[in-house]
Chain A
C-alpha cells in the first residue's frame, strides 16, 4: 500500500550547513505524525522542503512522493496547485505570517480562490467565515475586515490554521502551531486543530518540541537530531523501544514529583560517546 507521503532520501544544505542529511519517512493516509527534536535539528526545513518552499540558495536532493507522485518542486505553477489545495501549511511564527497591509479576509479569500480557481467572491467570503467559525473565532463575519495587528497571537494562530484548511487539503503540515501561546490557549488551539483534522480524516505532520502534545494527538512520532531521523515509531511504543536519545528527551521533561529538583540536560543523560551517531 502506498502512503500519503513518502519522503525518500531527502538532503538539504544551506551553504556550508547540511540541515537534512538523508531522511526517509513515510506517512499513511489518516496518520498523524509528530516530529520532535531540538532547535536547529531540521524540522522546519523538512516541512518547507516537502512543499518546495526552500529559499533559492538551498541545495536539495532526494524526492517526496505525494499520493504516489513525485512533487515537482522546480515547477512553481504546478506546486502552487498542490500547496494549500492538497497540502496545507501552518507557519511557525504567527506574528510575521500575515501581510500587515491586508485584511484577514483578504488572506483567507486569496487562499480560497488559489485552491478553487474561478470561485466567486461571495463563495470565498462564505468559506472564510465558515473556517473562522470552525477554529472558534467569534463574530467571524465582521472580523474579516480587520487587519492582522488587530488580532491577538492566539487568534492569528487559529486564523493561520483556518487558512491552511480553507483549500480542503489531504495533509496538514503544522510547524509548531502553538509555540507562541500560553498553556490554556495552546490547549484550545490544538484541540481545534485536532478536531478538524480528525473529522476530515486528514493526514497531519505536527512539528513540535512538546512530547506531551505528541502523546495526546499523534499516532506516530519521528525524532530528529542534527538533520537525521533517528527514530520513527508509533506513539505507544515510544517508552518501550526508545532510542537512547529519545529516552534522554523523555527524561529531560518536567514530571510530577520533581518539584525542587534541577532538570537534567540532554548532554548529561546521553550515554558516553553517543554524539558519534
Chain B
C-alpha cells in the first residue's frame, strides 16, 4: 500500500511538472507581449521595457520557467491586468462557487447513476432498464449549455418553479459567512436553514445541467460492469450460499463493479469543473469559469494560465485519491501490479 502511494505520488509530481510546462509554453506562444498588454497601446517603449524586466521577461526561457514554477507553488500567481487584482485573490473569491456547483452536480450524477444502475440490473424491465439507458445515451449527446437553457425555459420561464439565471442567491439575501465559501455548507454550519434552502433552490437547475453528462458516463459504466460480472461464477456461488439476488447484487457484485466507476470519477470530476465554464455562463454563476471566460475574451493570460494549471492540480489530486480508494477496495490493486 505504501509502495502504491509512493509510486502514485511520484507520477503525480511528474504529471504536475508536465502540466506546468504546457501552461508555461502556451503562454509564451501567445502572440501578445504581456508587458505591452498590461500597460496599453499608448505606453512608452521605455516603460514597457522596464516592466518586461520587472516581470522577468528579459531572462532566458529556462530561468523564466523556474521562476514561474516557484511563483506558482509559493502562491504568487500574478495579476489580472483587466481586473487589476491579484489572480490568487480573484480565484479565491470565485472558486467556492464553482466547487459547490461541481460537487452538487457530481454528487447528483453519482448517486442517481448508482441507484438507477442497481435498479436496472436487479429488475430487468422496459422501465427500470430501458428508460435510464435512453437517458444515459441522451446525456452523452446533449450539449450542456443547451440542456441548461432548456432547463431554464421549463423550470423558470414556463413553470416558475426555480429561480432564473441570477447567480447563487437573490440580491435580498446576505450570503452566509463561513470557512468554505460554499453557501449551502456555510449556511448549515451557522444553522441557517432558510438560507440553506434558498441556496439549494438556486443550485438545483445549474447542477442538473452540469450533472447530466457525468450521469450518462457513470450510469453506462456501472451498468455495463454490473452486466459483465452478473454471470460471474462467484455471483452464482454467493446465491448458492443462500443469499438472495438483491443481497448478491448489493454486497457482492457492486463492490466488484464499482471500482472502474471510482477510477473514472477522478477524471469525470475534473471534467465537471472544466465543463462548468459554459454552465456558469448560462446561469450567471459567479464562479471561476466565468472569470476564465472573461479572461479569454480580454486576453488576460495570467488568469487563464493559472486556471489551466489549477485544473491540472485538481485533476491530479482527485485521481491520486481515487487510486488509493480503489486500492483499499481491491487488494490486488494495492500490490501495484494490476
A residues lining the B interface (CB < 8 Å) = 48, 51, 53, 55-56, 76-77, 80-85, 88-89, 91, 93, 96-102, 107, 110-111, 114-115, 147, 149, 160, 163-164, 167
Contacts and interface: CB of A to CB of B under 8 A. Distances in A.
B241 A110 contact: yes
A85 B244 CA distance: 13
A51 B240 CA distance: 7
Contacts of B232: 96
B329 interface: yes
Given A55-B231, A80-B244, 8 more contacts: A76-B244, A85-B242, A89-B240, A96-B234, A98-B234, A102-B255, A147-B331, A167-B241
A153 B259 CA distance: 25
Query: On chain B, which size bracket covers the interface?
Result: 20 to 34
Contacts of B240: 51, 53, 83-84, 88-89, 91, 164
A160 B242 contact: no
Given A80-B244, A97-B234, A110-B251, A53 B239 contact: yes
Is chain B's binding surface mostly helix, strand, loop or mixed? helix
- Among B231, B233, B255, B330, which residue has the most Cβ atoms of chain A within 10 A? B233
Contact of B256 (A53, A89, A99, A147): A99
B291 to A, nearest CB: 42
A96 B237 CA distance: 10
16 contacts: A51-B240, A53-B240, A77-B244, A83-B240, A83-B241, A89-B240, A93-B233, A96-B232, A97-B236, A98-B234, A99-B255, A101-B256, A102-B252, A111-B241, A114-B243, A167-B241
A200 B300 CA distance: 81
Contacts of A56: 124
B328 to A, nearest CB: 10
Interface string B79-96: 000000000000000000
A99 to B, nearest CB: 5
A167 to B, nearest CB: 6
Nearest to A51: B240
B231 A89 contact: no
B28 interface: no
Contacts of A97: 233-234, 236-237
Contacts of A88: 240
Nearest to A91: B237
Interface in B206-253: 231-234, 236-245, 247, 251-252
Contact of A101 (B233, B237, B239, B331): B331
Interface in B305-338: 329-332
Contacts of A160: 237
A98 B243 contact: no
Contacts of A115: 241-242
Most buried by A among B231, B237, B242: B242
Contacts of B241: 83-84, 89, 107, 110-111, 114-115, 163-164, 167
A132 to B, nearest CB: 15
A84 B256 contact: no
Contacts of B329: 101
A89 B255 contact: no
B175 to A, nearest CB: 44
Contacts of A53: 236, 239-240
Contacts of B245: 76
Contacts of A164: 240-241
B330 A100 contact: yes
Contacts of B236: 48, 53, 91, 97
Contacts of A83: 239-242
A85 B234 CA distance: 18
B244 A89 contact: no
Q: Most chain-B Cβ atoms within 10 A of its Cβ — which of A80, A82, A149?
A: A80
Interface string B245-282: 10100011001100100000000000000000000000
A160 to B, nearest CB: 7
B36 to A, nearest CB: 59
Contacts of B247: 114
B61 to A, nearest CB: 49
B233 A80 contact: no
A182 to B, nearest CB: 21
A21 B316 CA distance: 59
A99 B252 contact: yes
A83 B236 CA distance: 11
A106 B316 CA distance: 34
Q: Sort A-B residue pairs by CB-CB distance and give the 10 closest, nearest first.
A: A84-B242, A114-B242, A111-B241, A89-B240, A96-B233, A84-B241, A80-B244, A99-B234, A97-B237, A83-B242
Contacts of B237: 89, 91, 97-98, 160, 163
A56 B247 CA distance: 17
Contacts of B252: 99, 102
A150 to B, nearest CB: 8
Contacts of B256: 99-101
